Amino acid sequence: MHPKYSLLTLPLLLATCAQAADKLPVYKTDPAQTSISGLSSGAYMAVQYQVAYSASVKGAGIIAGGPYYCAANNILYAGICMGLVPLVSPKPGPMLTAAQEFEKTGQIDPLSNLKKANIYVFSGIEDNVVRQKAVDTTVAFFKLAGVPENHIRYVNELAAGHAFITPGFGNNCSANAAPYISHCELKATGYDQAGDLLQHIYGPLNPPAKTLLGKIIAFNQRDFAIPESSLADTGYAYIPQSCAQGATCKVHIALHGCQQSAESVGDSFYKDTGYNPWADSNHLIVLYPQVNKSKANPENPRGCWDWFGYSGPAYAVKSGVQMTAIKAMVDRLGGR
């Protein structure tokens, strides 16, 4: 035995190894009640997931994210897709055409499913990472793809920076800085973005719990993707007590942004964004997959979800390695 590992420390080491290898547990979930949201690169991924798996996704929350397949597998288009190139905005037409081609070849679900999706979109006026003109195109894309206008909620009047918005936690509203969580007011009230997007997707919900009875679990993401995918070894999920005790639950996938995984900001995204209190009182499991910075993918130095092709050309369709991994996590939660 290595001299620094005594017989007293060995049980602790074994317990730690076992915890790191825990599989994502199985619960009772309703496959028709799955939804997704994300910030920044997580928002671009949420758009991709909603479009590609539209048959099984009820709705999406897009916070500072551009339209589907905007970069077209070319990182050189990223600046345009983030609205950073002066006098140039992304156009929704070519992106819809790309989606239609993927549909014809069976690489994504039929776009007609989007007619029943509920889409929440947010863009802060002070966001200098993904500008509003890019997010405007996201709204235009979904309308062009068949989402009814009354199924789309676009919040774009807050003087917010590049961040997930909470009523009281995080940076000042206009900040564009880690942990990319900020507190803002809308109509003189702290803005609860998690609650707003969840209620737009699902309809009226019970008020958020004041005291959490559920728990956050860590699980092994190596069950779902190899390290070259940029998925971290460990992902997280919030499990309400009711779900752990056998209730049939909804599943919401919450995707962090660049430089916002646990590797970069600790537990801030999966504890402080405000999803968990809503989940606790509404039989809702929140899945927090994690992507890290990757030496295997030099185009991913900031721990971003893949929305431009660093994990392979299939990144925006159902066979994409990150897309497949997320879907497999959702299926595992429901025992499918």
Give domain status of residue 17, yes or no. Answer: no
Give domain status of residue 172, yes or no. Answer: yes
* 40 annotated active-site: yes
Q: How far apart are CA 216 and CA 222, in angstroms?
A: 19
Give domain status of residue 212, yes or no. Answer: yes
Give domain status of residue 34, yes or no. Answer: yes
Question: Which position among 40, 123, 174, 261 bears the catalytic label?
Answer: 40
Give domain status of residue 8, yes or no. Answer: no
**pLDDT tens digits in sequence order for the chain, 336 residues long:** 333 333 333 333 333 333 454 999 999 999 999 999 999 999 999 999 999 999 999 999 999 999 999 999 999 999 999 999 999 999 999 999 999 999 999 999 999 999 999 999 999 999 999 999 999 999 999 999 999 999 999 999 999 999 999 999 999 999 999 999 999 999 899 999 999 999 999 999 999 999 999 999 999 999 999 988 999 999 999 999 999 999 999 999 999 999 999 999 999 999 999 999 999 999 999 999 999 997 777 789 999 999 999 999 999 999 999 999 999 999 999 998
Give domain status of residue 9, yes or no. Answer: no
Judging by beta carbons within 10 Å of its beta carbon (0-12, 13-18, 19+), is residue 330 exposed, middle or buried?
Answer: buried
| Buried/exposed code over 194-219 (b: 16+ C-beta within 10 A; e: otherwise) | bbbbbbbbbeebeebbeebebeebbb
Question: Which position among 127, 136, 196, 306 bears the catalytic label?
Answer: 127
Measured on CA atoms in the order 287, 59, 109, 48, is the torsion positive or negative?
negative
pTM for the full model? 0.93
Q: How far apart are CA 117 and CA 143, in angstroms?
A: 11
Question: Which position among 37, 54, 162, 311 bears the catalytic label?
Answer: 162
3-state secondary structure of 190: strand
Count the Cβ atoms, other than its own, within 10 Å of residue 105.
Answer: 8
Q: What is the total count of domains within the chain?
A: 1
How, if at all, do strands 189-190 and 249-255 pair? unpaired
Give domain status of residue 5, yes or no. Answer: no
Question: Which has the closest alpha carbon to 53: 103, 109, 1, 4?
Answer: 109
Give domain status of residue 227, yes or no. Answer: yes
* 200 annotated active-site: no
Contacts of 296 (CB under 8 A, 6+ apart): 227, 228, 230
Q: How far apart are CA 256 and CA 37, in angstroms?
A: 9
Strands in 111-156 per DSSP E:
118-122, 152-155
* 192 annotated active-site: no
What residues make up the domain containing 249?
A: 25-333
Q: How far apart are CA 331 and CA 329, in angstroms?
A: 5
